[in-house]
């Protein structure tokens, strides 16, 4: 999935009353469920997006049941044909979803029984909706992790290419939002590439724990039928089976972990969004965004508002909220399955949709950013940004760093008194504060001299930025030829 999708039924939904005997569990009850309760407890309005995963898992389950002799070959053929037709109906938007059937599982099963007759009723042998929904959600999330990893790659590619264009563009680096030291804009952009790399690694690492098969755990205790869980795991490309049936149906830590990774990803994108908003403002004037990613004002005709970036910043709060909601959901549940777990899906679905949409927005917006190099340079000249370079210069002349720090602080104060920048201080003024200073200090105090001097792994020197751009292009190029995300290539990400 690559586009944001609304949380609404994909096809027609009927809310007609259903007599108690029409329900999958009706035998125990003497009267129908109240219509309000039916609507309150139904999840089909949102969990129908699990239908492809539900059908995929049901096909694997049916093949296994036939292999161990629980289903006949004739029943298997009817089930396969029926499920394939149901998937076609769902994709075409003609499937008739019924609120009275509660959820995606019973809707699919009811339609399968219409199509396959008695064979459709036999499919649920040796499973429960408890292990069924856990399997479906894991299948769904596994696919979304793969798609999101590629979405992250796309944003990284956009940032790397912009960094390549500005590997030597000087801008102010900030701490406490105060001018600190000069950096290159390319180096600044690559900081986000590193953040996104760790986000990608977290998602792929979470995928390993998502990719374990609950099916076969049944309601909570397993089943009396001679099932072959390993066969189903191989069929569905799960890496392992869940080893405890109670844990398999009751825990949603894999969904929590996914949302935690998603919340961190949105937090990083929100930081980038915040900087775009700042850089676009007249007080900075560092960049311009493409018109298609900005909006106007209903009253002020001059305005160009960075609404996409602002919304990304705002949406991060909702995704962080989903993480808190899921943690709260699971914290008080006794073992095993509880109906509370129905509430896991909407936060997960909204997290997925928001991540996809936000990644797409940044992947398409970043290449259109126009940079005002002169504005960045002017800003970098403010705040005595090369003061640390003067301290380092004195250290190389034998002055202890703390003494050098004190001498430079006095030099900064003197520059403020004279109304000039640190590099504009006359040599005699500098020598009065530190006699070790010679005329060769002035190239050190230039913006270009400052950034070029930081020529080491992780430094902001243009040569290092160009080398990092080359490395990232190679890493991302290798990924573009790989269909399934895997561990980061050697040398990528944190610690490289």
* Interval 33-48 mean pLDDT: 86
- pLDDT confidence band for 377 (50 / 70 / 90): very high
Q: Is the pLDDT at 25 greater than 70, yes or no?
A: no
User: pLDDT value at position 229?
Assistant: 98
Q: What is the pLDDT of residue 34?
A: 82
Nearest to 110 by CA among 102, 337, 294, 6: 102
Pair of tokens at residue 188: 């600044």
- What b/e readout covers 339-348, taking b as 16+ CB neighbours within 10 angstroms? eebbebbbbb
The mean per-residue pLDDT over the stretch 158-187 comes to: 97
Q: What is the DSSP secondary structure assignment for residue 295, as one 8-state letter?
A: B
pLDDT value at residue 164: 98
Helix (H, G, I), strand (E, B), or coil: what is residue 397?
coil
The reported pLDDT for the residue numbered 168 is 97
Predicted confidence at residue 36, as pLDDT, reads: 81
User: Are residues 190 and 468 in contact, defined by beta-carbon separation less than 8 angstroms?
Assistant: yes
- Assign residue 117 a region (left: φ > 0; alpha: ψ between -120 and 50; beta: otherwise): left
| Active-site annotation holder among 19, 166, 297, 385 | 297
Catalytic residue among 16, 176, 298, 456: 176
For 301-321, what is each residue's pLDDT tens digit?
676 788 999 999 999 999 999
Closest C-alpha among 300, 414, 308, 313 to residue 363? 308
Q: What is the pLDDT of residues 409-443, one digit of tens each?
A: 999 999 999 999 999 999 999 999 999 999 999 99
Query: Span 10-16, mean pLDDT?
Result: 45
pTM: 0.89
Which of residues 475 and 290 earns the better pLDDT score?
475
Is residue 405 annotated as a catalytic residue, yes or no? no
Alpha helices (H) in 397-435, listed in sequence order = 401-418, 427-433
Residue 329 has pLDDT above 90, yes or no: yes
Predicted confidence (pLDDT) at residue 6 exceeds the cutoff of 70: no
Provide mean pLDDT across the span 258-263: 98
**Positive or negative CA dihedral for 190, 391, 399, 440?**
positive
Question: 170-175 and 13-14: which strand pairing?
Answer: unpaired
* Phi, psi (rounded to 5 degrees) for 350: -65, -35
Q: Write out pLDDT tens, residues 218-250.
A: 999 999 999 999 999 999 999 999 999 999 999
Contact 101, 18 (CB under 8 A): yes
**pLDDT tens figures, 138-168:** 999 999 999 999 999 999 999 999 999 999 9
268 is annotated as an active-site residue: no
Measured distance CA(429)–CA(436) in Å, rounded: 12
Residue 46 CB: number of other CB atoms within 10 A? 18
| Average per-residue pLDDT for the chain | 91
Reference 418, options 433, 440, 405; nearest CA is 433
pLDDT digits (tens, 9 = 90+) for 384-399: 999 999 999 999 999 9
Lookup: tokens for 15: 């809310």
Q: Please, what's the b/e burial string for 380-399 (b: 16 or more CB within 10 A of its CB; e: otherwise)?
A: bbebbbbbbbbbbbbbeeeb
pLDDT at 192 over 60: yes
Q: Is pLDDT above 90 for 299?
A: no
Cis peptide before 363 (omega within 30 of 0): no
Note the pLDDT of residue 27.
61
pLDDT of residue 16: 39
Query: ∠376-378-380 over CA atoms, to 5°?
Result: 70
- The pLDDT tens digits for 436-490 are 999 999 999 999 999 999 999 999 999 999 999 999 999 999 998 765 444 443 3
């Amino acid at each position: 999935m690559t586009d944001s999708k609304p949380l609404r039924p994909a096809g027609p939904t009927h809310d007609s009353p259903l007599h108690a005997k029409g329900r999958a569990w009706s035998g125990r009850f003497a009267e129908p469920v109240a219509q309000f309760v039916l609507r309150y407890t139904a999840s089909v309005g949102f969990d129908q997006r699990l239908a492809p995963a539900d059908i995929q898992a049901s096909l694997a389950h049916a093949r296994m049941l036939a292999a161990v002799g629980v289903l006949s070959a004739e029943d298997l053929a009817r089930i396969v044909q029926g499920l394939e037709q149901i998937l076609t109906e769902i994709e075409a938007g003609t499937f008739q979803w019924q609120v009275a059937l509660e959820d995606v599982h019973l809707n699919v099963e009811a339609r399968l029984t219409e199509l396959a007759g008695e064979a459709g009723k036999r499919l649920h042998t040796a499973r429960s909706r408890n292990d069924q929904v856990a399997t479906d959600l894991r299948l769904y999330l596994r696919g979304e992790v793969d798609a999101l990893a590629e979405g992250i790659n796309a944003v990284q590619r956009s940032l790397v290419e912009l960094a390549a264009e500005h590997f030597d563009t000087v801008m102010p680096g900030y701490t406490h939002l105060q001018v600190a030291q000069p950096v290159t804009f390319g180096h600044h952009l690559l900081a986000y590439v590193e953040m996104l790399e760790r986000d990608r690694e977290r998602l792929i690492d979470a995928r390993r724990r998502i990719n374990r098969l609950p099916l076969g755990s049944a309601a909570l205790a397993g089943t009396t039928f001679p099932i072959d869980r390993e066969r189903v795991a191989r069929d569905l490309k799960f890496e392992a089976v869940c080893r405890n049936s109670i844990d398999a149906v009751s825990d949603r830590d894999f969904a929590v972990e996914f949302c935690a990774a998603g919340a961190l990803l949105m937090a990083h994108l929100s930081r980038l969004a915040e900087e775009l908003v700042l850089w676009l403002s007249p007080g900075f004037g560092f960049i311009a965004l493409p018109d298609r990613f900005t909006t106007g004002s209903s009253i002020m005709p001059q305005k160009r508002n960075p609404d996409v970036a602002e919304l990304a910043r705002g949406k991060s709060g909702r995704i962080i909220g989903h993480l808190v909601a899921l943690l709260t959901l699971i914290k008080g549940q006794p073992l095993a399955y509880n109906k509370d777990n129905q509430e896991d899906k909407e936060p997960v679905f909204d997290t997925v949709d928001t991540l996809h949409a936000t990644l797409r927005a940044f992947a398409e917006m970043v290449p259109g950013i126009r940079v005002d190099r002169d504005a960045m340079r002017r800003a970098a000249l403010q705040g005595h940004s090369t003061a640390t370079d003067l301290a380092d210069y004195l250290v190389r002349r034998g002055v202890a760093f703390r003494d050098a720090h004190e001498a430079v602080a006095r030099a900064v104060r003197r520059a403020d008194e004279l109304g000039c920048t640190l590099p504009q201080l006359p040599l005699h003024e500098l020598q009065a504060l530190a006699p070790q200073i010679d005329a060769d200090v002035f190239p050190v105090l230039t913006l270009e001299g400052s950034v070029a001097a930081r020529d080491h792994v992780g430094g902001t020197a243009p040569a290092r930025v160009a080398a990092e751009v080359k490395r990232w292009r190679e890493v991302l190029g290798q990924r573009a030829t790989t269909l399934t995300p895997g561990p980061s290539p050697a040398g990528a990400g944190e610690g490289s």
